[in-house]
C-alpha cells in the first residue's frame, strides 16, 4: 500500500485541503471532550464541536450555508479491514479521521507538510 500526502497530486481526484481556518479551538476541544477508547467509537454529532465558531465558518464557506455536523471517530485500530469513500467533500469526516489518528500526529505532520513554493 502506498500512502500519499493529502497535498500530493495523486490525492487530487479525492478532494482538496481547504486552508485559511484557525483550527486551534477545534483541536483543543477534540482533545478535551472526546475519549480515545481501547476499541473504536463513532459519534456523528458532538455539541461542543458544533458550537465552535469554526463550525459556522465550515458551513458558510464550504457548504454554502447548509447545516453540517461535527463529530468524531476515535480509538485504536489493529488492522485496516474496511475503507470508506464519499463522493462529496465533507470537512467533518476529515476531522473525524484526523482525530482518530491524533496519537500519530508526528507521523501525520511528517507526511502532510504543505509544499513550499
d(CA 113, CA 117): 12
Query: pTM for this one?
Result: 0.65
Residue 73 pairs in a beta bridge with 42
pLDDT at 29 over 80: yes
Q: What is the pLDDT of residues 43-96, one digit of tens each?
A: 989 999 999 999 999 999 888 888 889 998 888 877 766 666 555 555 545 544
Nearest-10 crossing angle of helices 24-33, 53-63: 120
pLDDT given for residue 19 in this prediction: 86
Distance of CA 1 to the CA centre of its chain: 21
pLDDT given for residue 97 in this prediction: 47
Amino acid at each position: 500500500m502506498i500512502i500519499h500526502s493529502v497535498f500530493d497530486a495523486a490525492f487530487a481526484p479525492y478532494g482538496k485541503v481547504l486552508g485559511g481556518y484557525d483550527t486551534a479551538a477545534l483541536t483543543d476541544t477534540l482533545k478535551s471532550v472526546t475519549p480515545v477508547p481501547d476499541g473504536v467509537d463513532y459519534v456523528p454529532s458532538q455539541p461542543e464541536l458544533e458550537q465552535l465558531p469554526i463550525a459556522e465558518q465550515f458551513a458558510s464557506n464550504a457548504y454554502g450555508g447548509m447545516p453540517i455536523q461535527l463529530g468524531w471517530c476515535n480509538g485504536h485500530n489493529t488492522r485496516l479491514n474496511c475503507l470508506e469513500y464519499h463522493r462529496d467533500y465533507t470537512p467533518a469526516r476529515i476531522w473525524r479521521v484526523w482525530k482518530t489518528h491524533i496519537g500519530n500526529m508526528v507521523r501525520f505532520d511528517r507526511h502532510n507538510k504543505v509544499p513550499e513554493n
